[in-house]
Amino acid sequence: MRSLRPLRFVPQTHETPNNLPLDIHTHPIFHLRHTLHHHQHSFRNLLQKTRKRVGGWGYILGDEGSAYKIAIAGMNAALKSYDGREMSTSLLEGFKQHLDLKSIEDLIEVVYRREWGVKQVAALAPVVDFAAASGDIVANIIIDDAVKELVKATSTVIDAIFSADSILEVVTTGSVWHGRCKIHERFAASLVKKFPNVKVIFPRYEPAYGAGLLALQTTQI
């Protein structure tokens, strides 16, 4: 489970038979496939006037819903449980086993004195994922909070760029979405409650395929 990249929506369209469907390629977590029965020209004009960015402010100022934030929240919860400040959680033992620590206090040595960066911290997100899938209440709260942030970010973009009756496919990419705690299903269920015409799917093609399409579009401009 690696860190989620920031949401940056920069719509691009390409020609398709009968002008439908129109693909909206966005970078890099969500891709929206727009299938409204609008004329392509008017739809393109709408997109050209709209560039919506949500998130992407880095791990200090943002990154809500990322593997990094999930891991940080998990370690924080484990340490608070160890102190007795919060409810008990299997995350305490989970981090000890995963990092082969004699005591959770050794987490200080690992994180601070070894000068861990974002990548190393984000790699601990599966500990939270496993605990949540095993029914740990604290871990599930962390995952639910991450889902709320991702839904909020996606909703902001949908509200800004599309109309209320838009029919969209939201394509989620990245290993975080394949966690045992079913974060993809949770995200989809929550988003569909707000936008019934939205369908959340995994990519149909490898990333190289989409990169090739974008490169082809660029050469035709």
Q: Which two tokens stand for residue 213?
A: 């399409």
Number of compact structural domains in the chain:
2
Residue 4 has pLDDT above 70, yes or no: no
Q: Same domain, yes or no, for 124 and 178? A: no
Residues 74 and 100 in one domain: yes
pLDDT at 165 over 80: no
Of 145, 178, 199, which closes a domain?
A: 145
Residue where a domain stops, chosen among 99, 125, 145: 145
Model pLDDT, residue 166: 77
Q: What pLDDT score was predicted for residue 55?
A: 77
Helix axes 67-83, 137-161, angle to 10 degrees: 150
How confident is the model over 109-135, as pLDDT tens digits? 888 878 888 889 999 999 999 999 999
Give the model's confidence band at 217: pLDDT under 50 very low, under 70 low, under 90 confident, else very high: low
Residues 164-169 have a mean pLDDT of: 78
pLDDT at 221 (0 to 100): 53
- Whether residues 162 and 120 share a domain: the answer is no
- CA separation for the pair 195, 199 (Å, rounded): 9
- pLDDT for 220: 59
Q: For residue 35, give the nearest of 155, 165, 215, 161 by alpha carbon.
A: 165
Q: What whole-number percentage of the chain has pLDDT above 90? A: 39
| Domain coverage including residue 171 | 8-56+149-220
Place 93 in a pLDDT band, splitting at 50, 70 and 90. very high
State whether 14 and 47 are in the same domain.
yes
Q: What are phi and psi of 100, to 5 degrees?
A: 55, 50
Last residue within a domain, chosen from 145, 179, 205: 145
Q: Is residue 125 part of a domain?
A: yes
Mean pLDDT score of the chain: 76
Nearest to 7, CA basis, from 72, 70, 64, 73: 64
pLDDT over 70 at 214, yes or no: no
Q: What are phi and psi of 108, to 5 degrees?
A: -60, -45
Average pLDDT, integer, range 183-211: 84
Residue 3 lies in a domain: no
Q: What pLDDT shows up at residue 218? A: 59
With 60 as the cut, is the pLDDT of residue 88 above it? Answer: yes
Confidence of residue 176 (pLDDT cuts 50, 70, 90): confident
Indicate left, alpha or beta for 65 from its phi (over 0: left) and psi (-120 to 50: alpha): left
Q: Is residue 185 part of a domain?
A: yes
